[in-house]
Every structure is written in C-alpha cells, then in structure tokens.
Amino acid sequence: MKKLTLANKSIVVVGMGLTGLSCVRFLLTKGAKVIAMDSRSELTLSLDVPLLLGEFDTNKLSLADLIVLSPGVDLNTPAIQQAIESGVRVIGDIELFAQFNTCPVIAITGSNGKSTVTHLVTEMCKSAGKKVLMGGNIGVPALDLLGQSADVIVLELSSFQLETTYSLMPLVATVLNITADHLDRHGDLARYQQIKLSVYKNCEFIVCNRDDDLCYPVNKNASMSYGLSQSNSGFSWDNDNTCILLDGKIFLDSKRCLLVGAHNMLNIQAAAALAKVFGIDDASIRQGAQQFGGLPHRCQTVSMFNNVRWINDSKATNVGATLAAINGLASHINGKLILIAGGEGKGADFSVMAECLTQSVGLLITLGKDGDKIARLHSNNVKVQTIEEAVLVAAKHSRAGDIVMLSPACASLDMFVSYQQRGDCFAQAVQALAA
C-alpha cells in the first residue's frame, strides 16, 4: 500500500492522545475530511474537526475511507473489528509516516531498552556531526518529524505501532529482545513476537541480538550481531576485562561509560551496531556511548543517602525489564539488594522471576494490584500499600553498601497516572528521608 491518496477522503482518527493529534494535524494538511474519536467522555480539542466522544460510533467507522488508530487503542475493539469486516483499512501513525517519508530510518523495537538504545544511537549520530531526528514511541510523534531536514531519523517503535504498519522501509533495524509483555492485548507470545519481527519485513540491513532466539529474523540474514555471549564476529562482551568487543578485539572499556550494568552494556552494543551499519565512525560511536548518562526512571540513581544506592527503575513495566535490571546490577552490589515491585501485571507470568529473586534479592517489598503474586516468590517479603511506605520499610532494613531499587515488573495504572509519576513519587519519598 504505497502513496495513500488523502485529499477529500473521509478519515476517522481514533484516540486523541499526542499521536492521534499529530495524525489529525497531518491529515488536515493533506486535505482529508477528518473526524476525531476518543473514548473519554470529556475532551477539549483545539483542532477544527468534528469530535465524537464516548462509545465509538460503529456506523461512522464502517463508512470511513480509512481509519487511523492511535497506538493506545486496541485493534481488537469490537467497533474497529466491525469496520475491518466492512472493508475499511486500519493503519497507524507509523504507516502514515512511512507513506510520505524520504529520509533514512533507523528503527528500534523490543520489549525492553528501546528508549535507551534510541537515545544512544541519536547521541552517536550527533557525535559524528549528523543532523538526526528522534521520535516515534518516544518524545516527538513520527509525523511531526516529516518535512524537517535531517540525515537520519531514529524511531522507537512499540508493538502497538508495528501492529498497524506495513510499508515502513528502515535502512537498518533491530529487535532488542522479546519477553512476555502486552499479552493482555496481543493474546500470546507468538503473536507478540510476530508483530515485533515485522520491523524486519522491508528492512535493508538487520542488526540482531544473537543471544535471543525470539529476535532472529525469519528467512533473512543479519548484517551484524551483538550480545553478551562471546563471538569473533560483531559486538560482544569480555566479562573478565569488562570491555565491549568488536570482532573479538577491544572496542570500548565500560569504565569509561556513565551507564552501568550488563543490560546497559548490551544496550550500548545494540546502539553501536546500528550506528556502525548506518555508517557512523568508531570514534563517534565511542564518544556517544561515553557521554550518555541514561534516562529518568530507567535504572537511574536518585540518591546515595546513608551510603545506600537508591535506584528508580519505574520504567520496568514488565518481568523482563526487572530481571534485566537485577541481573545487570549483580556485579555492582556490595551489600544486599532490596527490591520494590508490583502494580498491574498485564497478565504476565511472574513465576519466571522466582529463581532470580531468591538468588539476588535480600528483601522483597511489594505493592499494587498484583503485588501479592510477586510476594509469593520470596520468603523474605513485606507487603505495603504505598510507595512512601515502601521507601520507609526499605530505609529501615538497609545498611551502607546496599541497593534499594524500584523495579516494579508491572504497569503503573492501578495506582498512578504513569510510570513517570510512580518514579517521581519514589524519588520524592527517598529525598524526604534526608529532610
């Protein structure tokens, strides 16, 4: 489906978040007849288009020439499915972007680490003097990047976005990892994997995580690989000397990097591989890796109160992210690890955490809707009602050299507006200890 004709077409944009609004603005510039829909009962829209609130209007959807679905709206929603059965095509913002983009794209997806790798690649490109734009599932909606002058666009892509994308042609792409996530929406791991791997469909160069079988492209060869396993080809990890290797030779000493943890060494490798395949020189890749200090709410040290490291990893909204954080910190823990976890589990199987929690966590503090399910996995657990209570319990049981980490393995919406708010509450509670 190339070069959509949008002028005078009746197009319904469903979901009026940042992405939906960007779609409305873009479609209006193309002369489309746009109707906006949102499930909320109250909403003020500054754009001059009809706005339908509440239950989705099945008749309007089924009569549309095209539906543009925001990533936050489930494709399986009955009204959307009925429109599909009526022959209406449903796409998302990334498909719209793909139809009109002419700039090289570096595409990044995966269950965990997407935002960190996206920022790392961007920094590496900037270090080489490239004009780079970044967006997609992070920061700026992809459509808002169109028309801007750039050497490359770096896109973070979610499974929700890829589910309605068919024509994206990245110059280089990677699937960082695949762990059970969003199964409440996608149904099962196989379907989730299929959606993630679709980023490779029209890709010119593939960069692959050789340690995750679920990330391997189907019937395609990778241009470069990365992983924590040993390899004489691509990027790898020398655990004894704590160095990143390229083709078996030292490429970057991790001691020169601001990021810490094995999972971040893997993130640096992935970014370096993407940047190198794109054509960024080695010196610029190293410079970008060394200068990037990490993102808020992603294994971010927020305090060293009483010589205890307090880490905000609120972005760990699934089991895989929390396991990666725990394993990544293993070599940095001089005392014990106190973990704060729990929230909305999204149908995840927490049992896969049992061994890691038993071996690496000294005290488990749980809260939220599915906190009890996680608590059952550790004999030394404390159940609390709030983040503030969790911090007080952690402070009581921690000693110099310990690490206290909020890494929930769950979404935040059972208790908070967002994972950012959850992380901010944690950081504020930690700061209050010293007050």
Are 80 and 167 in the same domain?
A: no
Are 222 and 307 in the same domain?
A: no
What is the model's pLDDT at position 304? 85
How would you write the chain as a 3-class SS string?
Answer: CCCCCCCCCEEEEECCCHHHHHHHHHHHHCCCEEEEEECCCCCCCCCCCCEEECCCCHHHHHCCCEEEECCCCCCCCHHHHHHHHCCCEEECHHHHHHHHCCCCEEEEECCCCHHHHHHHHHHHHHHCCCCEEEEECCCECHHHHCCCCCCEEEEECCHHHHCCCCCCCCCEEEECCCCCCCHHHHCCHHHHHHHHHHHHCCCCEEEEECCCHHHCCCCCCCCEEECCCCCCCCEEEECCCCEEEECCEEEEEHHHCCCCCHHHHHHHHHHHHHHHHHCCCHHHHHHHHHHCCCCCCCCEEEECHHHCEEEECCCCCCHHHHHHHHHHHHHHCCCCEEEEECCECCCCCHHHHHHHHHHHCCEEEECCCCHHHHHCCCCCEEECCCHHHHHHHHHHHCCCCCEEEECCCCECCCCCCCHHHHHHHHHHHHHHHCC
Average pLDDT of the chain is 94
Q: How sure is the predictor about 415, in pLDDT bands with cuts at 50, 70 and 90?
A: very high
**Mean pLDDT across the stretch 264-285?**
97
**Mean pLDDT across the stretch 406-426?**
96
Residue 139 has pLDDT above 90, yes or no: no
Domain termination residue (choose one: 66, 91, 116): 91
pLDDT in tens, 63-115: 999 999 999 899 999 999 999 999 999 999 999 999 999 999 999 999 889 99
User: Which residues does residue 172 pair with via DSSP β-bridges, in sequence order?
Assistant: 106, 205
Are 125 and 273 in the same domain?
A: yes
**Rounded CA separation 434/432 (Å):** 5
- The single residue of 101, 112, 114, 373 carrying the catalytic annotation is 114
CATH number of the domain encompassing residue 313: 3.90.190.20
Q: Which residue has the higher pLDDT, 25 or 257?
A: 25
Q: Judge contact between 265 and 120, C-beta under 8 A.
A: no
Q: Is 239 a catalytic residue?
A: no
**Would you state the structure tokens that stand for residue 189, as one six-digit string?**
């791991």
CATH number of the domain encompassing residue 217: 3.40.1190.10
**Mean pLDDT across the stretch 267-289?**
98
Q: Residues with Cβ < 8 Å from 404, sequence gap 6 or more?
A: 308, 309, 310, 311, 338, 340, 391, 394, 395, 398
Q: Judge contact between 206 and 221, C-beta under 8 A.
A: yes
Q: Is 182 a catalytic residue?
A: yes
Are 268 and 320 in the same domain?
A: no
**Would you state the structure tokens that stand for residue 343, as one six-digit string?**
């929230």
Say if 3 falls within a structural domain.
Answer: no
Among 21-25, 97-101, 202-206, 317-321, the minimum mean pLDDT is found in: 317-321
Residue 293 has pLDDT above 80, yes or no: no
pLDDT in tens, 155-196: 999 999 999 999 999 999 999 999 866 666 766 888 899 999
pLDDT in tens, 347-392: 999 999 999 999 999 999 999 999 999 999 999 999 999 999 999 9
Pairing of strands 89-91, 152-156: unpaired
What is the model's pLDDT at position 1? 46
What is the model's pLDDT at position 2? 54
- pTM passes above 0.85: no
Are 32 and 83 in the same domain?
A: yes
Are 246 and 190 in the same domain?
A: yes
pLDDT in tens, 207-240: 999 999 999 998 889 999 999 999 999 999 999 9
> Whose CA is closest to 111, among 406, 273, 323?
323
Q: Is 9 a catalytic residue?
A: no
Are 80 and 168 in the same domain?
A: no
Are 61 and 202 in the same domain?
A: no
Q: How sure is the predictor about 343, in pLDDT bands with cuts at 50, 70 and 90?
A: very high
> Whose CA is closest to 153, among 63, 283, 278?
278
Q: How sure is the predictor about 298, in pLDDT bands with cuts at 50, 70 and 90?
A: confident
Say if 2 falls within a structural domain.
Answer: no
Residue 354's domain comprises 300-433
**Mean pLDDT across the stretch 319-329?**
90
**Rounded CA separation 280/67 (Å):** 38
- The single residue of 112, 137, 264, 267 carrying the catalytic annotation is 137
- The single residue of 101, 112, 182, 196 carrying the catalytic annotation is 182
Q: How sure is the predictor about 334, in pLDDT bands with cuts at 50, 70 and 90?
A: confident
**Rounded CA separation 61/404 (Å):** 49
